[in-house]
Structure 1
Amino acid sequence: MKLDFTVRHFTLTPAIKKFAREQTKKVAKLLDDRDHIRLHLTMAIEKHRNLAELVLTMGEQVLTGKATTDDMYQSITQATEKLARQVNKLKEKVETKRKTRASVKEVTAAAEAARSEAEGTADEAAPEATKKPRIIPTRRYAIKPMTPDDAAASLSPKDQFVVFRNMVTDRVGVLYRRPDGNFGLIEP
């Protein structure tokens, strides 16, 4: 990790420089002290305020921590703490995405394995890109003439949809259970 300093309206003492390096090591530990990380610390004194701004550049990510106090040491500490919170939030976001992707892959793999077992033939030799999705008939439905209200009444808790012929319009319709508890009706 590389740390650059910019100082405005005061001189940078070795003690402040050492303190800033020690504080920024906390952020470096959070990021596993990677080489492609750059930190830029800007310190300034305006009237009676001590300003510290830490800008972390990591690839395309840019995070900023700013603080203004009466003491430069406190400003550096607060700016570092703000930046550390942002880094933790970013790490949690990345981990959540990674876990979500992994769980989706696991579910997809399990579904694929179950489908292969159900079909009785595992087509392992063919690459994934050349496989075409197949239509697998599961069961037949008897299309009965009824109204949409009758179809809703006939929908059992284990079924998610019912196919019927609308008595009024004489068209085939599909009534399905929506996540909000209501029913949806599809008619071509």
Structure 2
Amino acid sequence: MQVRITGRGVDVTDFLKEYAEKKLSKMTRYFDRILDASVVFEMEGNAPQVEITLDANGVILRGVERAENFQAALDFAIDKIEKQLRRFKDRLSRKYKVNIPHEEVAPLLEEHPEEEPKIVKVKRFQLKPMFPEEAIMQMDLLGHDFFVFLNAETNQVNVVYRRKDGNYGLIEPAL
């Protein structure tokens, strides 16, 4: 597994780098085909935040946590990723009705692509040009967690979404 550790606006100590690598190396007990791991340390407001992204043979797992210090935030993010990996493995076990050793999970994904989830509903709607602020208001009025709209400023399809921290995000296509 290739591990990239970076700091956004903070210096990551050697201790934190070694600690992160040690914790990530233990992830293979859940899934041995983790190809890539990215760990980003940053300050979000006054709180240390750690963001971990894993590429487990095409399955992307992500954990973002804040705590009173970087080590605790890393531990919380690792716990979140471990839960995701266990849940993923359990779903595969239930799907194939057998107990699957962790080293066999990825080949099953490759062998049975026809059993992937299917699109069961297609929704078509007119895209009304609006500004992101209007889209957020519309999303809130509908009670949705995201909203697709035609951005009046860029004339491109965008998505606004509600973040876990209570703020909003905007997804724009990069062409």
What TM-score, normalized to structure 2? 0.52
1:12 correspondence with 2:46? no
CA distance in 1, matches of 2:12, 2:28: 22
What SS does structure 1 have at the residue aligned with 2:55?
strand
- Post-superposition shift, 1:73? 0.1
Alpha-carbon distance in structure 2 between the residues aligned to 1:60 and 1:67:
23
Counterparts of 2:78 and 2:62, CA distance in 1: 9
Among residues 85, 88, 99, which one is paired with 2:86 in the alignment?
88
User: Residue 46 of structure 1: CA displacement?
Assistant: 3.2
- Which of 52, 55, 65 does residue 54 from structure 1 map onto? 52
Q: CA offsets, 1:48-97, max 9 Å, x none?
A: 21010111112331111110011000000000000000000000111111
Partner of 2:11, secondary structure, is coil
Mark the runs of 5 or more structure 2 residues left unpaired by the alignment: 99-175
Structure 1 residue runs of 5 or longer lacking an equivalent are 101-188
Q: Equivalent residue of 2:97, what SS?
A: helix
In 2: Cα distance, 1:46 partner to 1:88 partner: 28
| SS at structure 2 position matched to 1:31 | coil
Give the number of the structure whose alpha-carbon radius of gyration is greater. 1
Counterpart Cα distance in 1 of 2:35 and 2:29? 12
Q: TM-score, normalised by structure 1?
A: 0.49
Does the CA contact (< 8 Å) of 2:31 and 2:56 recur in 1? Answer: no
Could you tell me which residue of structure 1 aligns to residue 64 of structure 2? 66
> Which stretches of structure 1, 4 residues or longer, exceed 2 Å deviation after superposition?
none
Query: Which residues of 2 match residues 1-188 of structure 1 at below 5 A?
Result: 1-32=1-32, 34=33, 37-99=35-97
SS of 1:5's equivalent in the other structure is strand
2:20 counterpart letter in structure 1: A
Counterpart of 2:146? none
CA RMSD of aligned residues (A): 1.5
Structure 1: distance between partners of 2:16 and 2:51: 14
Q: CA–CA distance in 1 between the matches of 2:64 and 2:44?
A: 14
Q: CA deviation at 1:28?
A: 2.2
Shift of the alpha carbon at 1:27?
1.5
Give the distance between the partners of 1:46 and 1:66, measured in 2 at CA.
Answer: 11
Find the counterpart in structure 2 of residue 140 from structure 1: none
Cα-to-partner distance string for 1:78-122 (whole Å, 9 max, x where unaligned): 00000000000000111111227xxxxxxxxxxxxxxxxxxxxxx
- Separation in structure 1 between the aligned mates of residue 65 and residue 44 of structure 2, nearest angstrom: 13
SS in 2 for 1:12: coil
